Homo-oligomer: A and B are copies of this chain.
């Protein structure tokens, strides 16, 4: 009655979501899926890149897929579930290719930098991944497998491999946040006189205008971890 557009009553056909809908069909079941988890994941990524994580709402995601918000719940059980899909998708983008090919320290370096870079654009996922059972994230699990195999091949004592990976990962996550911090985060403002040592050290760092400070800190910490862990190898 209210709307003037035609075809408003036809629910199913819905103009297939612009890009890669990928609509897989599961054998022996009703097909015609307008939506699936892959499509939701890529639409969410696009939405995030356009509007950031504040723009990632179930309503917005549904709109970008040409679908009602409630329709999403046939494919994901909650918004957190969407975040898990995103996380797992991103895990597959982390570079583990050097493990088993390059020397151990080179591989770890490459993995860690890549891991940090991927998630520094997606810090809202960190609280999710840090606590996510790996069984719910197959691509994340695959990443761990590659890294673990690399450590083992490099002669790492088996009982320390997981601990070392967990420690490296903790450092990577924290560093990912650091990337997003404002440049002037360490400007003490009017409190500067009360913290002379700190202010001096901040000023001193500012003089070295080579790399981004966040990259210097990451490199410093990562190299310490690599050389510290390197001594554990048999």
Contact = CB atoms under 8 A, between A and B. Distances in A.
Interface of A: 123-124, 126-127, 130-135, 138, 141-142, 144-145, 148-149, 151-152, 158-164, 166-175, 177-178, 180-182, 184-191, 194-198, 200-202, 204-205, 207-208, 213-214, 216-218, 220-221, 223-225, 227-229
Contacts of A145: 194-198
Nearest to A135: B189
Contact of A148 (B166, B184, B197): B197
Contacts of A208: 159
Contacts of A175: 167, 170, 174
A197 B152 CA distance: 8
A167 B133 CA distance: 26
Contacts of A158: 200-201, 204
Contacts of A166: 178, 213-214, 217
A12 B159 CA distance: 63
A167 B221 contact: yes
Given A177-B170, A178-B130, A228-B225, A164 B195 contact: no
A9 to B, nearest CB: 40
A216 to B, nearest CB: 5
A88 to B, nearest CB: 12
Given A130-B177, A134-B186, A228-B223, A205 B162 contact: yes
A18 to B, nearest CB: 32
A171 B221 contact: yes
The 6 closest A-B pairs by CB, nearest first: A224-B228, A170-B174, A167-B221, A135-B189, A130-B177, A166-B217
A191 B138 contact: yes
Interface centre among A160, A171, A175, A229 (most CB of B within 10 A): A171
Interface centre among A127, A158, A220 (most CB of B within 10 A): A220
Contacts of A160: 220
A195 B142 contact: yes
